[in-house]
């Protein structure tokens, strides 16, 4: 007996098999049997999505760089305070924070949302702890604090958008 094989049509975009009467590819969503307007809309949405992904990656990278900068800022400020106050505990605490921020920056390559959110929460906790110890510290360096918070929040938002798109 001879076997009869039925050759199914393939999607012109992703080359996956499609059912004979299917209008849309079940894998990529391309309207293979649709009109020119639907095909143009599909390509336009794909271009917009690639553009959005590229923009999200820039913001995530910016947030990652902010985490690296924070590690450096905490380490250098710890050294300066250690030299001026001659208090080893300040150097140890600042070094620990710097190491945590380095780890978060590295982790943000794999899990950007979780790492950036953790960095943001840690930064807010450090600000809160400083305000409890010295209330006037809230207003010192306010511009730097706002800049750091804005980079982290933008990066966190972009990371959450990229999770939704996957």
pLDDT of residue 147: 92
Q: Which two tokens stand for residue 1?
A: 């007996």
- How far apart (Å, rounded) are the C-alpha atoms in residues 105 and 9? 46
pTM above 0.75, yes or no: no
Tens of pLDDT, residue by residue over 105-135, are 999 999 999 999 999 999 999 999 999 999 9
DSSP classification of residue 3: P
Query: What residue ranges do the domains of the chain occupy?
Result: 56-165
C-alpha 125 chain-centroid distance: 21
How high does pLDDT run on average in the chain? Answer: 87
Q: Which two tokens stand for residue 123?
A: 């930064």
Segments in the chain below pLDDT 70: 1-8, 165-166
pLDDT of residue 6: 64
Q: Are 68 and 105 in contact (CB under 8 A)?
A: yes
């Amino acid at each position: 007996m001879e076997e009869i094989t039925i050759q199914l049509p393939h999607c012109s975009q992703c080359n996956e098999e499609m059912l004979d009467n299917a209008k849309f590819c079940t894998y990529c969503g391309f309207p293979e049997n649709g009109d020119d307007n639907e095909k143009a809309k599909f390509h336009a949405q794909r271009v917009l999505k690639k553009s959005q992904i590229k923009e999200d990656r820039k913001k995530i990278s910016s947030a990652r760089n902010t985490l690296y900068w924070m590690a450096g800022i905490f380490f250098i400020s710890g050294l300066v305070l250690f030299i001026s106050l001659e208090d080893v505990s300040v150097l140890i605490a600042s070094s620990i924070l710097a190491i945590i921020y380095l780890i978060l920056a590295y982790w943000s390559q794999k899990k950007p949302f979780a790492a950036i959110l953790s960095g943001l929460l840690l930064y807010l906790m450090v600000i809160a702890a400083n305000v409890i110890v010295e209330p006037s510290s809230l207003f010192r360096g306010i511009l730097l604090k706002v800049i750091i918070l804005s980079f982290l929040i933008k990066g966190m938002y972009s990371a959450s958008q990229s999770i939704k798109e996957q």
